């Protein structure tokens, strides 16, 4: 694969060349993913942990770890690909995703909290 | 005179002293498709934002059942686990297709692509079966805000997987007709990113929608 059209162009040598893919990398990624998928399903389906909150946190933490595993072993994300621009785009997107998710949940939670009391106590209404 | 530092044509200095050059006048040659991977990655990032908005909508509306069915009444985790394993297996088989492509083996690449497509097809099939079961019980998208946002989020992911299936079949034909040419290798790498990206989105779906939904 190294003898592709980019061989003579070292400045752009990292794109279409999939030289990073190895059987070992895919198998490690797959093994980790199986574990990181099976554990949260097992936790929720059997209810091993007494606390639902603790289960939720563990499940979410495992999901984050699995996303990182997929990024590294399946999407071959590293600081070097495309001269760092892939990672830059990913980090920028992550910032936007965090703002969108936390912002939406936060604002709408407060909106609900402000609307609810009237439902319970209508005697105070004119 | 600082502008001579950026001027690639010192010979023209006399004429352009008043007009500094801020870009390369003569663009150097780029190999065909040299920027495809980065461009496709940026497309995937924009797709990621679409899913982020759908997740946000589900996060906000996911608790509004309108006295209708809740996640606990609807979701069957064994089915979701089966679906998840289908997608995960399709990810590793697509990896095997890429490895076969790197070795330049046309037939083996096509076989692994076909196996990937079968796993993807069973994923879509199981998902449609799940949707059909829910709709038969009256849990339609119109029933509550929770179900509207659920069907939008999971359905959008399912549509992406279906588009990926179409793409896999297209590339199987392309590879069969023209072999593992440079262009086809590039296309296979783009589809690889697309397919693995959909698996990443599914991690979010089975965690936030199914597992946390059943917990709630």
- Of B59, B81, B193, nearest to A75 by CB-CB distance is B193
| pLDDT-above-70 percentage for chain A | 75
Least reliable range by pLDDT among A9-13, B89-93, B178-182: A9-13
Nearest CB neighbour to B77, from listed A4, A45, A90:
A45
Domains, chain B, with CATH or none = 1-30 (no CATH), 36-215 (1.20.120.80)
The per-residue pLDDT for range A74-102, each reduced to its tens digit, is: 998 888 888 889 999 999 999 999 999 99
pLDDT band at residue A116 using 50, 70 and 90 as cut-offs: low
Question: What is the separation of C-alpha A81 from the centre of its chain, rounded to a whole number of angstroms?
Answer: 19
What's the pLDDT band for A117 if we cut at 50, 70, 90? low
pLDDT for position A17: 45
* Residues of chain B above pLDDT 70, percent: 92
Calculate what percentage of chain B has a pLDDT beyond 90: 80
Query: Tokens 């279409």, residue?
Result: A16
Kindly report, residue by residue over B101-157, the tens digit of the pLDDT. Answer: 999 999 999 999 999 999 999 999 999 999 999 999 999 999 999 999 999 999 999
CA distances from A1 to A49, A116, B99, B208 (A): 49, 62, 11, 39
- Average pLDDT over every residue of B190-210: 96
| pLDDT band (50, 70, 90) for residue A4 | very low
Kindly report the nearest CA distance between residue B122 and chain A, in angstroms: 18
Contact A26, A43 (CB under 8 A): no
Which pLDDT score is estimated for B13? 54
Q: At A88, list the tokens.
A: 């830059």
Nearest chain A CA: its distance from B132 CA (Å): 23
| Spatial CA neighbour of B109 closest among B180, B164, B167 | B180
Residues 6+ apart with CB under 8 A from A50: none
Determine whether the interchain pair B38/A21 forms a contact, defined as Cβ–Cβ distance below 8 Å.
no
- The whole-number pLDDT of residue A16 equals 41
Is B185–A96 a contact, with Cβ atoms under 8 angstroms apart? no
The predicted pLDDT at position A20 comes to: 60
Predicted local confidence at residue A119, as pLDDT: 52
**ipTM > 0.85 for the complex:** no
Q: What residues of B are in contact with residue A23 (Cβ under 8 Å)?
A: 99
A92–B45 C-beta distance less than 8 A = yes
Q: Provide the shortest C-alpha distance from residue B165 to chain A (in Å).
A: 18
What pLDDT, on a 0 to 100 scale, did the predictor assign at position A83?
A: 84
Angstrom distance (rounded) from CA B146 to CA B54: 12
Task: State the angle between helix axes of B77-102 and B106-136 in degrees (0 to 180), rounded to the nearest 10.
Answer: 160
pLDDT tens track for B81-100: 999 999 999 999 999 999 99
Q: How confident is the model at residue B208, as a pLDDT? A: 95
Structure tokens at B88: 């995960």
In B102-165 the beta strands, taken as DSSP E runs, fall at none
What would the mean pLDDT of A54-71 be, rounded to a whole number?
95
Q: What distance in Å separates the CA atoms of residue B20 and residue B5, rounded to the nearest whole number?
A: 10
**Cα distance between residue A89 and residue A76, in whole Å:** 14
Contact B215 A40 (CB under 8 A): no
């Amino acid at each position: 694969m190294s003898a592709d059209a980019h061989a003579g162009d070292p400045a752009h040598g990292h794109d279409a060349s999939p030289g990073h893919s190895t059987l070992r990398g895919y198998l490690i990624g797959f093994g980790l993913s199986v574990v990181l998928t099976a554990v949260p399903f097992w936790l929720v389906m059997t209810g091993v942990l007494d606390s639902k909150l603790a289960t939720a946190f563990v499940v979410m933490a495992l999901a984050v770890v699995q996303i990182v595993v997929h990024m590294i072993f399946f999407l071959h994300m590293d600081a070097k690909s495309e001269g760092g621009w892939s990672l830059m785009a990913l980090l920028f997107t992550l910032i936007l995703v965090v703002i969108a998710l936390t912002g939406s949940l936060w604002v709408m939670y407060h909106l609900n909290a402000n609307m609810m009391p009237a439902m319970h106590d209508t005697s105070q209404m004119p | 005179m600082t502008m001579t530092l950026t001027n690639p044509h010192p010979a023209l200095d006399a004429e352009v002293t008043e007009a500094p050059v801020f870009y390369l006048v003569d663009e150097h040659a780029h190999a065909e498709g040299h920027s495809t991977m980065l461009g496709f990655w940026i497309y995937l990032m924009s797709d990621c934002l679409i899913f982020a908005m759908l997740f946000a909508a589900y996060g906000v509306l996911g608790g509004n059942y309108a006295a209708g069915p809740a996640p606990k009444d609807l979701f069957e985790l064994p089915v979701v686990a089966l679906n998840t394993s289908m997608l995960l297996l399709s990810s590793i088989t697509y990896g095997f297709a890429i490895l076969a492509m790197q070795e330049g083996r046309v037939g083996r690449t096509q076989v692994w692509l076909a196996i990937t497509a079968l796993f993807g097809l069973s994923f879509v099939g199981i998902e449609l079966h799940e949707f059909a079961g829910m709709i038969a019980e009256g849990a339609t998208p119109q029933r509550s805000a929770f179900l509207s946002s659920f069907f939008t989020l999971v359905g959008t992911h399912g549509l992406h997987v279906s588009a990926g299936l179409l793409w896999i079949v297209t590339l199987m034909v392309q590879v069969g007709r023209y072999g593992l040419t440079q262009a086809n290798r590039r296309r296979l790498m783009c589809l690889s990113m697309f397919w693995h990206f959909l698996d990443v989105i599914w991690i979010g779906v089975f965690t936030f929608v199914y597992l946390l939904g059943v917990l709630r």
